[in-house]
Structure 1
């Protein structure tokens, strides 16, 4: 069966372009369009959609509010944001969006988002490899030692020394810095390849800068919890399969 898709955008040319792009995919069928948040919620409550392509800024409410309203519904549709505004990506993933496309984008980029929405589970999206091998730890990191982050239409280069840890976000990643959390368009696996050997994969969902670890504490399952050196004393879990390797690295 083809996935039933709802397009939500207040601009007619944008809806037409999305319908055209979606028409190139045999496994997706557009069965509804909405021009604002209120219309979108009416349609979403009247028909079981598999997928919603959702704009951010619209009359009568935002796409983020629409996604929040349906996220806990039975058989909730997968949400892909399609917007001209790059600044809401972190908020989008906080409401469980599968992907965040910034206009203009092409059919290839849309196709990757559709694949992620319709075929990948959260576990499949970011699968951790075994603990980093000795060869990988000793390999050269990215020459610049910086990670590009899109903020307000500009690219900011984050020095790896400022990163406390990174967490997975369905093909993207969050970087936790001392005073903020930012979204990057790199998976956790990609970050692990780019960052230096002092970064350690503690869990399927976490990559930690060991230079920022303040304490190691046992948890009730016999694994470990890392306490970071930021003012909030952030905590990051270490899976049992990686705890032994981490102890060895730290000489414990």
Structure 2
């Protein structure tokens, strides 16, 4: 695991931030690097501080938690989001923004420990003694009463559509309920790159990159009809990864 996981606390109630700060400080590998009391400030501080995780309240002045989460997901490197709120009715909506968990106030330490474990799992990675070793493992996808095990090297691209994640290979398309963020983390040892908030591509299948409108690009993939849109926020990093 990494030496430390950086956290931004966002809540308009000062004492709620203090309570959560106290609970997280008891976990020595968590580092509170900033606080915010509204959604607008949360977005600005996330851009400035680049936290690994944002604990985000829902009901706040100026910009609420859901609106802030939507803005955070637009960032090139979005943080993990944990909603921490007194309102259980927003839980279903929260996971539309790929939240890793939904904590209810007053905080229950058992539930918080479960959240902590989910966060730690996202930042854990097996040690590799040789970087040139080809990663192994298959992606499990449930469908049609069966479990399909997909070779990540055969996946061309993945995109989020409504409430499903679509996994596209040269031969077939599969549906998964796994959030795109979690799938991106699982596939991190392979050649996948996010070109849009809702699209991951396998860089091994990239054939051509063409300038389009307003700083966006069109990406052509081997064996696929049509092109994918590349958000201008990702273009520079994409070119850096593709070019020798």
Question: Taking structure 1 as the reference length, what is the TM-score of the superposition?
Answer: 0.49
Q: Distance in 2 between matches of 1:128 and 1:109?
A: 27
Q: Give the unaligned 5+ runs of structure 1.
A: 122-126, 132-166, 168-198, 205-218, 226-252
Q: Distance in 2 between matches of 1:39 and 1:224?
A: 39
Give CA-to-partner distance per residue, 1:114-163, whole Å, 9 cap, x none: 22123238xxxxx869x9xxxxxxxxxxxxxxxxxxxxxxxxxxxxxxxx
Indicate the structure (1 or 2) with the bigger Cα radius of gyration.
1
What does 1:8-47 correspond to in 2, within 5 Å? 8-47=10-49
Alignment correspondent of 1:59: 61
The CA deviation at 1:24 is: 1.3
| Aligned residues between the structures | 139
The CA deviation at 1:203 is: 6.0
Q: Give the unaligned 5+ runs of structure 2.
A: 124-138, 150-168, 176-244
Aligned with residue 171 of structure 2, among 209, 221, 233: 221
Aligned with residue 88 of structure 1, among 90, 107, 117: 90
The CA deviation at 1:222 is: 6.2
Aligned with residue 109 of structure 1, among 86, 98, 111: 111
Question: Taking structure 2 as the reference length, what is the TM-score of the superposition?
Answer: 0.50
- SS of structure 1 residue aligned to 2:107: coil
The CA deviation at 1:223 is: 8.1
What does 1:234-245 correspond to in 2, within 5 Å? none
- SS of structure 2 residue aligned to 1:57: coil
Alignment correspondent of 1:76: 78
Q: Distance in 2 between matches of 1:44 and 1:224?
A: 34
Q: Distance in 2 between matches of 1:92 and 1:108?
A: 21
Asked if the contact 2:33–2:49 (Cα under 8 Å) also holds between the matched residues in 1, the reply is no
Q: Which runs of 4+ in 1 moved over 6 A?
A: 222-225
